Chain A
Amino acid sequence: MTARTVLKNEWRLLMADRPLKIALGLFVVLLGYALTNGVVWLRFQERTVEATTSGNVERASALRQELEAIEAGGQPSSPFADPRSPRVLGGPSGSHTAVLAPGPLTALAIGQSDLLPYYYDVNIYTNEASFHQNGEVENPLNLMVGRFDLAFAVVYLLPLLVLALSFNVLSEEREQGTLALTLSQPVSARSVVTVKLAFRALVVAGIVLGVSLLGALATGGFGSPGRLLLWSVTVVAYALFWFALAAWVNALGRSSAWNATVLVGAWLVLVVVLPAAINAAAGLLHPLPSRVEMVTAQREASNDAVNRRSELLARYLEDHPEMAEGVVADEPGLGALSWAATDAVNGRLEEVAAEHDARRTEQTALVRRYRFLSPALLAQEALLDAAGTGDARFADFQSQVREFAERWREFFVPAIMADEQMNAGVLADVPTFSLADGDSADLTRRATAPLAVLAGLLALIGAAAGVGLGRVRGAD
């Protein structure tokens, strides 16, 4: 009896098993729905990215036109928004939107992309408080429940399908009395179970990877083969983990009903209970520093700076230049004075934020250690990283925006301090944001630990299953 015979028979059995065919069909339908949800979301984000990019171009060209008109002897459209002033050209009306393009495989995993901001308007007033932004407009209810995307289907539902296909892979043969017959052939229980499970793994991986690749094909995910590879490896490793677990439980030689109970229990503990318990433990043992206290600290920081600047008139004019009829709008030195105050506030905000961020980084590092306890958490992290919708990519984006805001200030602030005017000539040199997307080395480094642990678990349980199956005799 060769592996081919087993495979051929398995295929026949699968085709004859109506409930199983229905379950597989349902799974494919759900995967299809998950994929379309991801694609719809990706397109939505792409439209926003496009709008921000064209917004940047339009703003820049409007400013150029106005500057050129002024140089040709025209007047600024408003004396209070004279683009020659560096505070206007580098201020809110001249701001540049820094945007994070959707992760290459967003269609497969929506991840954190519905919660975390993916674009910021950068101008000279960008400071730490500017990062306190909500992401996409989204119903909080939807954020709470979460989306039905492929990553969800893989983490939660794929194990259930694997278990439904394999909980009785050996026990059923024993219960039907065919085990003794099979093992009377020159084959071992180990090889029979391996071939049977390999067949099922091919079916499951074939479906999931097929849908994933289809999604990648439809949305240009093949542009990042490394990410696609990481995605596929994670899916396969995670599925194999569950197959190995099923093999091991089967090797214990108990009834199909017992196997089913134990395997569903394992799924429940590893996928549902442990992640929740880990999150709760992390929250209790390493509480996040409170943002509420940070708001107060920020407010006090700016109070100090503003209070030191007692020029009520200057402050008032800053808020409402258009109300200052008869009062000189751009009093010499006003810009520099006002910038000094802004700068003082920014400095204090940075201190407050740095303290908060340090505590947050520490907490996150601690929490991330616990994910090794649950293969579901490991798989989720690797899948989101592969898709480019995990925490790391957003954190990286934010620090790039911070650097960009710094470059922006370096460009405009000297002119503000020196009370200089700008002209159309400088527009070509105004900094623009371009995303340096995390290189593949970084991605590999991040994915190594979760994948290694997943592989280790797989090897451990696989070995236990192998040893257990080696002891199975047809006659017992």
Chain B
Amino acid sequence: MIHHIVRKEFADMIRDGRFRWSAILVGSLLLVSLAHGWVQARKASQEHAAAQATAREHWETQGEKNPHSAAHYGVYAFKPRLALSFVDEGVDPFTGTSVWLEAHRQNDFLLRPAQDATAAQRIGALTAAQVLQHLVPLLIILLTFGAFASERERGTLRQLLATGVGWKELALGKALGASGALALLLVPAAVAGAAALVVASPGPTASPLARGAVLAGAYLAYFVVFLALSLAVSARARSSRTALVFLLAVWVVNGLVAPRVAVDLSKRVYATPSAFEFARTVEREMADGVEDIAPPDRDESTKRLLAEYGVERVEDLPINAVGVYLQESEEFSNRIFDRNYGALWDAFRRQGILQEALAAAAPSIAVRTLSMGLAGTDVEQHRHFAEAAETYRRDLMRQMNGDMTENSLTGDFSYAASAELWESVPPLEYEAPPLGWVLGNRILSLAVLGAWLAGAVLLASAQVRRAEVA
């Protein structure tokens, strides 16, 4: 029996002009956005790889100079574009793309692509993720709002039930029929996406296929939530019009209102300092230190070195005391940066968690968070790269100061290291975090999406069971 229902629903849908047109629209937007994303990601990825290579070349060919001058010269790090970012560019346009790694300072990531774009680009970006999170649910609503309500209005529901078909079978059949119709546009897109990853990956990433599979699973769960909600409302609503209005209201709240309301709410609950305040605080702490982090004392450090080497005068030290002091200052400032940047990142993380929790009111927030996480374009993975770059900077500074300490004497400003030293520094090689790390960050969203899935299916079965025939 059920396959008759599935077949009938499926045939109805693909014959319906409204469905055909909206499916063609959504399907082509999906394919276009995938292609667009792929082109952009590939271009950005190539550019960043080239820039990173050039930055390395600049470092290696900087000529002979004092290691500390080289430390000031520093090196640029460019954030790699990960492969799956072509599905969801996430926060990438709003984080900087490059950072200058130099002596004494942890710099901010600069050059946010969004700063170059116009305000118009902030009210809608066409990415595959946007289509999947907003337009596909709308299509699901349009397909299924009348599933029971229209049949009831036409009086065909009574006839249908008279044939002996159970409510459960009927609901399942309708759900499967709609799924089949949706599969016509989603499966090709998924195949195209997977093919793009395997054949011509737009960028590096850890376990792209596993990430892609989980990503597909998350979206599938999200679609089932909408399918079940829509069927539940259709079974309950007095008329198909009421069902449509209610479901559209849900759609607007889910995709448009709730995410922005959550942003402002999270900003109020977990306030972040202004850029001005932040810079002044770092500046002040760098000058004076804080309670348990004191700035290094140069005389103290010299005295210790003199005692250690058993000499009377700085000139008699076999090493360069300035190099030691410079490294002590690095370590002091690192602690100040860790303190301040750590607090800032943590505030961002708490804002993000609050928003994830608010996905209880709007599943789009949960699927958005998962999607960005799996695509490697969320705030946490930006932080992951930023920290890798900062670790690299610290190692670089330690090596430069170490070389200066070992190979020159205090007060000797003429010492110059050569390309041999520059080349001995390993290049920055970033490894994106594994899938487990990403999912570990996103347990809340997984749980909320799971709860939505279970809740929506239960609601649908309850509503269908209690539905009225006429």
Contact = CB atoms under 8 A, between A and B. Distances in A.
A284 B91 contact: no
B55 interface: yes
B267 to A, nearest CB: 6
A198 interface: no
B301 interface: no
Interface in A322-361: 323-327, 360
B348 interface: yes
B149 to A, nearest CB: 11
Interface in A38-78: 40, 44, 47-48, 51-52
Interface residues on A, range: 35 or more
Contact of A381 (B43, B109, B120, B348): B120
Contacts of A294: 111
Contacts of B97: 291-292
Given A146-B263, A156-B256, A276 B51 contact: no
Contact of B379 (A133, A141, A152): A141
Interface string A380-398: 1100100000110000000
B275 A137 contact: yes
A299 interface: yes
B29 A273 contact: yes
Given A40-B268, A275-B124, A283-B40, 10 more contacts: A112-B122, A115-B112, A119-B276, A145-B259, A145-B262, A160-B252, A268-B138, A292-B48, A296-B54, A371-B120
The 10 closest A-B pairs by CB, nearest first: A276-B124, A280-B126, A148-B260, A140-B91, A276-B126, A143-B94, A275-B124, A140-B94, A291-B111, A139-B348
A30 B348 CA distance: 25
A279 B120 contact: yes
Nearest to B262: A145
Interface in A101-155: 111-112, 115-116, 119, 132-148, 152, 155
B220 interface: no
A364 interface: yes
A436 interface: no
Interface in A278-309: 278-280, 283-284, 287-288, 290-296, 299-300, 303, 307
Contacts of B260: 145-148, 152
Interface in B315-360: 322, 344, 347-348, 351-352, 355
A134 B118 contact: no
A139 B379 contact: yes
A364 B322 CA distance: 51
A380 B120 contact: yes
A312 B94 contact: no
| Most B CB within 10 A of own CB, among A141, A142, A147, A284 | A141
Contact of B257 (A30, A147, A312, A368): A30
A316 B119 contact: no
A272 B134 contact: yes
Interface string A237-271: 00000000000000000001100110010001000
28 contacts: A33-B264, A51-B274, A133-B110, A134-B112, A135-B275, A137-B344, A140-B91, A140-B379, A141-B263, A141-B348, A144-B91, A144-B94, A145-B262, A152-B260, A157-B257, A260-B245, A272-B124, A272-B135, A275-B123, A284-B36, A291-B98, A291-B111, A292-B48, A299-B76, A312-B413, A319-B68, A319-B72, A323-B413
Interface in A160-212: 160
Contacts of A418: none
A471 interface: no
A134 B344 CA distance: 15
A313 interface: yes
A142 B267 contact: yes
B288 to A, nearest CB: 15
A141 B264 contact: no
A444 interface: no
A287 B245 CA distance: 40
Contacts of A135: 115, 275
Contacts of A147: 260, 263-264
Nearest to A37: B264
Contact of A316 (B94, B98, B413): B413
A230 B22 CA distance: 37
A260 B66 contact: no
Given A316-B68, A319-B69, A132 B114 contact: no
A269 B3 CA distance: 35
A13 B239 CA distance: 21
Question: Which residue among A291, A315, A368 has the maximum number of chain B CB atoms within 10 Å of its CB?
Answer: A291
A469 interface: no
Contacts of B413: 312-313, 316-317, 323-324, 327
B108 A264 contact: no
Residue of A140, A323, A371, A384 ringed by the most chain B CB atoms within 10 A = A140
Interface in B276-328: 276-278, 280, 322
Contacts of B347: 139
Residues of B contacting A: mostly: helix
A416 interface: no
Nearest to B241: A257
Name the residue among B123, B344, B355 with the largest chain A CB count within 10 angstroms: B123
Contacts of A88: none
A377 interface: yes
Contacts of B276: 48, 51-52, 119
A141 B96 contact: no
A296 B51 contact: yes
- Secondary structure of the A contact surface, majority rule: helix
Contacts of B119: 111-112, 380-381, 384, 390-391
A14 interface: no
B254 interface: no
Contacts, number: 224
B130 interface: yes
A146 B119 CA distance: 11
Nearest to A44: B274
Contacts of B130: 276
Interface in B72-97: 72, 76, 78, 90-91, 93-97
A452 interface: no
B257 to A, nearest CB: 7
B47 interface: yes
B137 to A, nearest CB: 12
Contacts of B411: 325-326
A424 interface: no
A363 B119 CA distance: 14
Contacts of A391: 118-119
B382 interface: yes
A295 B124 contact: no
Contacts of A40: 268
A460 interface: no
A137 B264 contact: no
Contacts of B428: none
Contacts of A316: 66, 68-69, 413
A376 interface: yes
Contacts of A48: 274-277
Nearest to B276: A48
Nearest to B100: A295
A303 B54 CA distance: 13
Contacts of A116: 115
B125 interface: yes
A367 interface: yes
A430 interface: no
Contacts of B47: 290, 292-293
A334 B135 CA distance: 64
- Name the residue in A145, A157, A381 with the highest tally of chain B Cβ atoms < 10 Å from its Cβ: A145
A260 B120 contact: no
A293 B411 CA distance: 39
Given A134-B96, A147-B260, A279-B125, A296 B55 contact: yes
A208 to B, nearest CB: 16
A435 interface: no
B117 interface: yes
A48 B40 CA distance: 36
